[in-house]
């Protein structure tokens, strides 16, 4: 392609420019538009399926739900997890605004797990605090957000430009404020300039930094399109970045490079073990310290390390498969199947990811205040790009909202865009076209990221980091010589320049912090101790006026929430300037290096792969185009009745995406479609939209009619929707207890719990399916008001899992003397699940009968039984006998048991 002239650039104008259409960017655009700003959203891919949220989310890691957690506890938890180096004012924004964001997302149609009474099913994954809120239907989160962007009232204020990639933020020569961006079209190659009143960076982390063990450039733990674009743009705009030495390193599935999803598995009873089956993690929060423990176990003779699931019952394994194989990494099931592995018979071997930069999962990013403002006026950062430690998805939404609200105060820049900055950006984008036979991007990027692995990944030393800096300096020239012939290749070449910038920031920052902190994230072998006296400081970096990378040690501000072990005093910053490299031995001095000339290697012409993909049905193409216009139900009705089932299925998907008035009854009607694919699409859409559909009688009638459909998946979906929308009654749910399918009967049980129909619920205690009886036991613990008597038949059930669930339910319904005797006797049962349930149930018994039995259970051979006994003893900690018993458990070989015992 030809290099376009700067003068031919397409110029766009807006009040608020949002760069990145993922989690934070979408929310920033919506909020800014709601406040009256003209918004331009630039996305180098397509907003419909861009960003780390594209494949969905299986849960929220930081939901501070009133009644289940307190904001101050969460702030303290994150402070401890980050070894004290936290701006608590930013973390507190997530803590205090997160629940409102959950409700806002729910109003859009995002579905969070709730119990039968509509309360949020928050889980405790860490040993303190209940913050994890599962999202079993979370695969469609991005689709829901895109639907909001395409609402008519939003389209009037939000202009979306897909396939446009910014490379530099433009700043005013007079006062340095952000005034726009320089970009190019990744399909046509056209140069694009933008003038704006404010700029919001929401480009995600730098996940493509270290090289995965597989060697695949795009086989990264994080979304591989996140190449550090925003880190580089913020740096070159003059913004301060902070915590760049605090890397992101995660546990993952060995050879798969997908998350092991312990957050999902732990509430079901999964946990991490060494090869002996022992839990070994003492750290209480998934942090650098926990990763250090993980890495040490992996490297010891107790490795490998596994996520243990094989001990779980079939119902739990099936539930985990339904979540893990459809959300985030849909290829996960294929991977396990290819190896002949099954969660029922094989535990999952775990390993450690490549390094990356990410505020959302560690602490590195663009420095922001509690309104998402960076140190450059009118430039904002949100999401994984911003340094708000362990911010996760909800934090990205919160800071996107904060950025959009604050940025909406500004109107479009009307001056002349700076010619020198546009020229530099133009050169950055198009120089590979001058070298069409230059080194191709994959080769240069592979070399660059191998240097990251060799010299920057922990454990770190000054010598290796210094070699890294030299290598990255040297590669500046090699990157400038990369060749490209298409707009897509230009995009990849620009990404390599961003990765190089991030790599240099990571190396120099790691050199500057002369201590070890955050466990594995910043482990310096030449400075092995943590030094709070000298380094309880944020390490900020910025680009100086001369173009050098300089550093400042900024003291941690006094905490809003006190945390034991840390006492920041504030005070002045220490200007460190440029970091000095550590001398590395060489072959000795010489007057002149030998001259050598390496000829450029010819690049062969790539062969064009023959073949083509079949075209879509013209009706589906028409339908997809129509869906972009947010059609009403009348416009979609002909497609819903089309004779081609693929068209009807696509129409149902469009109905779920646009949600016109009357969508609910229309979806319910399609539950009776003759084609299984259409019924499945309708059921999925109803599950996705259940939080936003009005509970109108017509919808209720359609759902009731669907209970007669032969497809059990349809009947399950109908019952679930009836319960969630409060359109069912005890008689309806009781009738479904006779359904032939166990999954349908489980949904009937949940419906009976929702209406507190205890007599009808109790009749299901004789159900032939074990999983239904387990659901009944759990349901009897959730009805209002609970009582132990209905549990009687379940406490005598022949199946150990049912008895275990019934005994555990006593913790909620009460455990008077007779039931306490039953629980004490059950502590001798042959099945560990029964013993664990009995130990849990005794938390509600009188101390005089419970504590002696629980103290004996601390010697049980099964670690989960001992853990349940410790947790119940914590409920009786007011008694001296319980405290004495807990004191004996602090040396238990199981990490969970001793950690919980220590809490007493």
Note whether 191 and 4 are within 8 A (CB). yes
Instruction: Answer yes or no: is pLDDT of 258 > 90.
Output: no
Rounded Cα–Cα distance for residues 739 and 570 (Å): 66
Q: What is the tally of helices (H) and strands (E) in the chain?
A: 35, 18
Q: Which two tokens stand for residue 827?
A: 């502590």
Strands 549-555 and 574-577: what pairing?
Answer: antiparallel
pLDDT at 587: 66
The count of residues in the chain is 904
Q: Going by C-beta distance under 8 Å and a sequence separation of 6 or more, which residues neighbour residue 587?
A: none
Rounded Cα–Cα distance for residues 716 and 695 (Å): 18
Q: Residues 530-535: what's their mean pLDDT?
A: 94
pLDDT at 614: 43
pLDDT at 816: 96
Which of 124-133, 792-801, 845-854 is predicted with the least confidence, judged by mean pLDDT?
124-133
Note whether 579 and 512 are within 8 A (CB). yes
For the sheet containing 241-242, what is the strand order? 365-366, 241-242, 537-543, 549-555, 574-577
Instruction: Answer yes or no: is pLDDT of 411 > 80.
Output: yes
Residue that has been written with the tokens 């299925």 in this structure: 649
Q: Going by C-beta distance under 8 Å and a sequence separation of 6 or more, which residues neighbour residue 892?
A: 858, 863, 866, 898, 901
pLDDT at 618: 86
> How buried is 522 (Cβ within 10 angstroms: 0-12 exposed, 13-18 middle, 19+ buried)?
buried
Alpha-helical runs (H) found in 588-644: 618-627, 633-640
Of residues 174, 109, 187, the one with CA closest to residue 148: 109
Instruction: Provide the 8-state DSSP code for 377.
Output: T
Note whether 824 and 853 are within 8 A (CB). yes
pLDDT digits 0-9 by tens, 646-695: 999 999 999 988 999 999 999 999 999 999 999 999 999 999 898 889 99
Rounded Cα–Cα distance for residues 124 and 127 (Å): 7
Residue that has been written with the tokens 């450029």 in this structure: 600
pLDDT digits 0-9 by tens, 289-320: 889 999 999 999 999 999 999 999 998 898 88
| Percentage of residues of the chain with pLDDT beyond 90 | 78
pTM of the full predicted structure?
Answer: 0.86
Could you give the angle at the alpha carbon of 567 between the alpha carbons of 561 and 573, nearest 5°?
A: 105
SS3 387: coil
pLDDT at 887: 95
Of residues 108, 72, 107, 105, the one with CA closest to residue 91: 72
pLDDT at 576: 95
pLDDT at 725: 94
pLDDT at 132: 78
pLDDT digits 0-9 by tens, 618-649: 899 899 888 888 899 999 999 999 999 999 99
Of residues 242, 168, 222, 230, the one with CA closest to residue 201: 230
In Å, the largest CA–CA distance within the chain is 95
Radius of gyration from C-alpha coordinates of the chain = 29
Identify any residues that bridge with 170 across adjacent strands, giving them in sequence order.
180
**More confident site: 516 or 260:** 516
Instruction: Answer yes or no: is pLDDT of 741 > 80.
Output: yes
Confidence label for 238 from pLDDT (cuts 50, 70 and 90): very high
Give the CA count within 13 Å in the CB-facing half-sphere of 780. 32
Instruction: Answer yes or no: is pLDDT of 14 > 90.
Output: yes
Instruction: Answer yes or no: is pLDDT of 127 > 70.
Output: no
pLDDT at 473: 96
Q: Residues 405-434: what's their mean pLDDT?
A: 97
Q: Residues 458-462: what's their mean pLDDT?
A: 96
SS3 159: strand
Instruction: Answer yes or no: is pLDDT of 134 > 90.
Output: no
Q: Where are the beta strands (DSSP E) in 710-783?
A: none
pLDDT at 577: 95
Start-to-end Cα distance in the chain:
69
Q: Residues 707-731: what's their mean pLDDT?
A: 96
Alpha-helical runs (H) found in 781-846: 792-795, 800-813, 817-826, 832-841
Alpha-helical runs (H) found in 18-70: 23-34
Note whether 240 and 554 are within 8 A (CB). no
CA distances from 671 to 148, 725, 746 (A): 25, 17, 19
Instruction: Answer yes or no: is pLDDT of 802 > 50.
Output: yes
Instruction: Answer yes or no: is pLDDT of 326 > 80.
Output: no
**Torsion angle in degrees (nearest 10) through CA of 47, 49, 54, 56:** 110
């Amino acid at each position: 392609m030809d290099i376009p002239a700067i003068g031919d650039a397409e110029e766009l104008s807006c009040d608020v420019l949002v760069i990145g259409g993922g989690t934070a960017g979408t929310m920033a655009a919506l909020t800014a538009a709601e406040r009256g700003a003209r918004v331009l959203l630039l996305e180098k891919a397509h907003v419909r399926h861009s960003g780390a949220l594209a494949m969905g989310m299986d849960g929220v890691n930081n939901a501070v739900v009133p009644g289940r957690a307190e904001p101050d506890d969460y702030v303290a938890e994150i402070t401890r997890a980050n070894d004290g180096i936290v701006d608590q004012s930013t973390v507190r924004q997530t803590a205090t605004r997160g629940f409102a964001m959950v409700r806002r997302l729910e109003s859009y149609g995002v579905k969070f797990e709730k119990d039968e009474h509509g309360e949020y099913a928050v889980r405790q994954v860490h040993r303190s605090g209940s913050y994890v809120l599962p999202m079993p239907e979370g695969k469609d989160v991005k689709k829901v957000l895109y639907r909001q962007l395409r609402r008519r009232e939003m389209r009037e204020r939000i202009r979306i430009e897909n396939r446009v990639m910014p490379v530099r933020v433009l700043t005013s020569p007079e006062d340095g404020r952000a005034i726009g961006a320089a970009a190019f079209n990744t399909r046509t190659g056209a140069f694009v300039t933008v003038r704006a009143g404010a700029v919001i960076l929401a480009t995600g982390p730098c996940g493509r930094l270290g090289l995965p063990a597989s060697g695949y450039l795009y086989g990264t733990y994080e979304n591989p399109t996140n190449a550090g674009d925003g880190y580089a743009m913020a740096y070159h705009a003059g913004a301060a970045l902070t915590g760049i030495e605090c890397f992101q390193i995660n546990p993952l599935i060995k050879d798969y490079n997908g998350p092991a999803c312990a957050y999902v598995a732990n509430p079901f009873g999964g946990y991490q073990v060494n090869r002996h089956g022992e839990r070994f993690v003492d750290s209480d929060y998934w942090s650098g310290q926990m990763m250090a423990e993980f890495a040490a176990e992996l490297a010891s003779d107790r490795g490998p390390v596994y996520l243990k699931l094989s001990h779980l019952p079939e119902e739990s394994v099936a539930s985990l498969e339904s979540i893990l194989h459809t959300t985030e990494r849909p290829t996960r099931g294929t991977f396990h199947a290819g190896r002949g592995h099954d969660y029922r018979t094989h535990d999952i071997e775990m390993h450690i990811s490549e390094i990356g930069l990410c505020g959302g999962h560690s602490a590195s990013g663009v420095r922001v205040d509690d309104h998402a403002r960076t140190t450059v006026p009118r430039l904002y950062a949100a999401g994984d790009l911003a340094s708000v430690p362990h911010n996760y998805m909800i934090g990205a939404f919160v800071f996107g909202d904060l950025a959009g609200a604050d940025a909406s105060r500004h109107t479009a820049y009307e001056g002349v865009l700076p010619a020198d900055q546009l020229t530099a950006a133009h050169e950055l984008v198009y120089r590979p076209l001058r070298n069409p036979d230059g080194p191709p991007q994959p080769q240069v990027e592979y070399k660059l990221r191998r240097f990251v692995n060799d010299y920057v990944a922990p454990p770190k030393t000054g010598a290796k980091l210094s070699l890294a800096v030299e290598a990255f300096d040297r590669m500046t020239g090699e990157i400038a010589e990369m060749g490209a012939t298409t707009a897509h290749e230009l995009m990849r070449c620009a990404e390599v320049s961003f990765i190089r910038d991030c790599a240099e920031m990571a190396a120099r920052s790691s050199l500057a912090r002369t201590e070890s902190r955050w466990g594995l994230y910043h482990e310096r072998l030449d400075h092995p101790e943590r030094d709070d006296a000298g380094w309880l400081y944020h390490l900020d970096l910025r680009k100086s006026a001369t173009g050098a990378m300089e550093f400042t040690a900024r003291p941690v501000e006094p905490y809003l929430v006190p945390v034991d072990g840390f006492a920041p005093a504030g005070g002045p910053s220490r200007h460190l300037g440029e970091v000095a490299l550590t001398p590395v031995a060489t072959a000795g001095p010489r007057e002149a290096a030998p001259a050598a000339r390496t000829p450029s290697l010819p690049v062969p012409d790539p062969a064009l792969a023959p073949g083509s993909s079949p075209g879509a049905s013209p009706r589906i193409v028409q339908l997809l185009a129509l869906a972009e216009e947010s059609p009403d139900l009348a416009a979609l009705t002909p497609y819903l009745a089309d004779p081609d089932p693929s068209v009807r299925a696509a129409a149902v998907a469009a109905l779920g995406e646009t949600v016109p008035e009357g969508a609910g009854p229309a979806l319910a009607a399609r539950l009776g479609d003759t084609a299984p694919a259409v019924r499945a699409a309708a059921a999925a859409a109803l599950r996705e939209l259940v939080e936003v559909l009005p509970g109108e009688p017509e919808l209720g009638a359609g759902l009731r009619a669907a209970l007669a459909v032969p497809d059990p998946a349809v009947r399950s979906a109908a019952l679930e929707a009836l319960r969630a929308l409060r359109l069912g009654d005890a008689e309806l749910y009781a009738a479904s207890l006779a359904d032939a399918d166990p999954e349908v009967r489980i949904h009937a049980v949940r419906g009976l719990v929702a209406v507190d129909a205890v007599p009808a619920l109790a009749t299901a205690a004789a159900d032939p399916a074990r999983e239904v009886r387990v659901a009944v036991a759990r349901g009897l613990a959730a009805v209002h008001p609970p009582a132990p008597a209905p549990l009687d038949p379940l406490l005598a059930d022949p199946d150990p899992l049912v008895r275990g669930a019934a005994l555990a339910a006593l913790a909620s319904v009460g455990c008077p003397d007779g039931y306490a005797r039953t629980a004490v006797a059950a502590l001798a049962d042959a099945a560990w699940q029964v013993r664990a349930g009995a130990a849990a149930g005794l938390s509600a018994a009188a101390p005089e009968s419970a504590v002696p039995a629980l103290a004996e259970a601390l010697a049980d051979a099964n670690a989960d039984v001992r853990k349940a006994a410790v947790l119940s003893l914590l409920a009786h900690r007011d008694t001296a006998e319980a405290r004495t018993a807990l004191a004996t458990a602090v040396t238990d070989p199981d990490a969970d048991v001793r950690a919980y015992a220590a809490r007493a």
